[in-house]
Structure 1
Amino acid sequence: MSDMTTSQDFTAAISEALPFLRRYGRALTGDQDTGDRYAAATLEAVLEDRSVIDAASTVKTGLFKMFHTLWKSTGAPIEHNETGLRAEAQKHLAKLTENTREALLLHTIEEFNVQAVAEIMDIDQSEADHLLSVARREMEDAIAGRVLIIEDEAIIAMDLENVVADMGHRVTGIARTRVGAVDIANKERPDLILADIQLADNSSGIDAVNDILAAHGDRPVIFITAFPERLLTGERPEPAFLISKPYSEAQVRSAVSQAMFFSSTETLKA
C-alpha cells in the first residue's frame, strides 16, 4: 500500500480517518450512539485482521470498506420500535433503493470519488454512478419544508439560501446571531435548521439551536464548521449532520436531503 510503510504510519492514518468514519456512521444511522458502535466494531475488526485495509487503495478507503462490510452483515438494520420523528424516518428509509443513501453519503459528505465509493461498497463503478443518480432523485423528491439558516457571513448565507430554495424548500429567514435565530424561529417554526457554529456577535450557533429545540421540539439540524474534526472527538454529544467549510453545493444538497429525510435530531451541547 502506497500510503502505509510502517506500523506508526498505519496508526496515524487510522487516527486521522477515524473522526470522519464516525461522522459517516452518525449520518448513516441518524444517531450518535449507533454510529459510534459501528465505528468501534470496525476498529475491533481492524485489530483482528487488517488484510482488507492492506489490500485497499488507501488506509482511509480500506477503513470505510471494513465499516461497510459490517454494515451489510447486519442487514443495515431498520428499527421498528421507534416513535415520533424517528418512526417517520424509518418509514422513509424502508422505501429507499438499497445502497443509495450509503453511496450518496460517501461521495458527497465524505468526498470519496466514484471509484473509491465503488471500492468501499464492493461494486462496479457503473453501479456506483447509478446509485448516486437514484439517491439524489429519491432524497430530493422525498420531503420539502421550511428551513432556517443561521449564518453570519452574508455571501455564504445567500449561497445556502439559493441552494435550499432550488431544492424546493422555503427559507423562513436568515439569522446572524443567537437572538436573531430564536426570534425567527418563534415567528415561524422551521422544519430544518442549517447553522454555523460561530456567529456575528461571538454567540454560539449551538446555543441558538438548543434554544429553538427547547422551545419548539425536535427537528433535524445540520451544523457547518471550518473545523469538523474538533467536533468529532467522541467526548461529548455530536451532530448527526455536519458539513465542512469550504463546502460544495453537492454536500449541502446531500446533507439537507439526508437530514430532512432521516428527521435526525442529534445536536451539540454547548
Structure 2
Amino acid sequence: MQSDLKASVIISTYNQPEWLELVLHSYGIQTEMDFEIIIADDGSDERTKRVIDKFSAESKLNVTYVWQKDEGFQKTKILNKAILASNADYLIFTDGDCIAREDFVKTHLSLKRKNNALSGGYFKLTKKISNSITKDIISEQKCFDRDWLLAKGQPKTFKLNKLTTSDFKSRFLNAITPTKATFDGMNVSCYKSDILAVNGFDERMQYGGEDREVGERMMNNGIKFLQVRYSAICVHLHHDRPYRNTEAEVLNQQIRATTKREKAKWTVFGIKT
C-alpha cells in the first residue's frame, strides 16, 4: 500500500545499538519530517530492539522494525523485506552507522527525478572522533563542521569538501568528481517502482558489491544514476568489518560479471523467488 509520505528511509543494521541510537537521533531532527523509517535488521540481539523502541516512543516518526534470524551476513534478504514493508513511493537507503546531516532527507527529495536514482557518499570519521559523538553534538551539527572536526584531530584532506554547505560548490564538485554514480547502500535513493522492476537485491550475494549489483540491473533497465555525493551528506562512524568473506566476494564478482555481460535487468534470486 502506497501512502502520501514523501519517503521511506531504510536503515540497515546489525548489532551496533550505540551507533544506531545516534543515527536515529539524526533522523529525528531532519528539516523535512514527512517520512517513515524502516529498520532492516540482519539478526541483532535485544539491545537493538530496545534502542528502536525507545526512539519510537519519543519520536513523531513512524518506525517499522523488520528483523530476521542471524544466519550470517544476509543483508540482501533483510533489505528486500524492508522494501516490501515500506509505504512511500520513494526510498532512501542508508546504514546504521551513518549519521545524516539535518538536510539529508530534504536534499534527496529536492534532487529526485523520474527515471533516475541518486548516488551519495559519506565522510569517514576517525575512530577517536566516532567514539566522542553524542546526541548533543549531532543536534548542534558539530560533526558536520569542518573546523570542529579539524580541532578534534580529523586529518585535513580534500575529502572534507564532502561536508560543504555551499549549493554552488556541491553542484560543481558533483559534476567534476571522477567517482562513478552507483548504488552505494549507505547513501542512495530511488523510486520504489524502479527497484521492484528489477526484483530487488540478489539474495545469493553477501558482503562486497551486493548493493552495486542491484544498481547495475537498474541501469540496464534504463535508470540513470545521478551524482549527489557533495549534496546529500552523512558521516560514517568508524568500525571494523569482521563479516568480510573472500569466498563470498568471489561469488559476488561472478554474479556482477554475469549481470554486466548479459545486461541483466532481473534476478530470479530477488524479492519474487
Question: Normalising by structure 2, what TM-score?
Answer: 0.23
Question: Greater relative contact order (Cα 8 A, min sep 6): structure 1 or 2?
Answer: 2
From the two aligned structures, give the one with the greater strand fraction: 2
Question: Normalising by structure 1, what TM-score?
Answer: 0.23
From the two aligned structures, give the one with the greater helix fraction: 1
